[in-house]
Amino acid sequence: MDEADDRLTPLRERVEPAWERYWWNCGDGWVDLLVRLAEDLSTISANWTLSQVKSKFGSLDFYASPHADDPDVQQRFDARVREAQTEASSTCETCGTPGVLRIEPESGWYLTLCQTHADQIGTETWKRS
């Protein structure tokens, strides 16, 4: 989706200037969980900043800093980010309904998708061997 989308405002307003053009590379399906994450991070640290949010190998990468000297704040911040990553790992990147990690056989690309979106692009469920 377009990083200028209004729904992304709670995230975009945290982006560090150096990352303005490169910060977003995610599907629509994760927007809701990311907006909730941004709101919670703001209650943990008023000064947090974001450098990048992306889908990588079907997982959520979220690079952010609380800018806090307090190790307790850092710990709560990191824990909340991990919670969002866990949530993303079972959420379709395209539509936000429950999904699982899959692989596109031809490209070897990993994506977290629901059955409908997996069928559309012909992925197979990824199994740990």
| Residues in binding contact with Zn ion, number by CB under 5 A | 5
For the CB of residue 126, give the shortest distance to Zn ion in the complex, in Å. Answer: 16
What is the three-state SS of the chain? Answer: CCCCCHHHHHHHCCECHHHCCCCEECCHHHHHHHHHHHHHHHHHCCCCEEEEEEEECCEEEEEEECCCCCHHHHHHHHHHHHHHHHHHCCECCCCCCECEEEEECCCCEEEEECHHHHHHHCCEECCCC
* Subset of residues 85 to 114 that bind Zn ion, contact rule: CB under 5 A: 92, 94-95, 114
Q: With binding defined as CB under 5 A, does residue 34 bind Zn ion?
A: no
Q: Which residues bind Zn ion (CB under 5 A)?
A: 92, 94-95, 114, 117
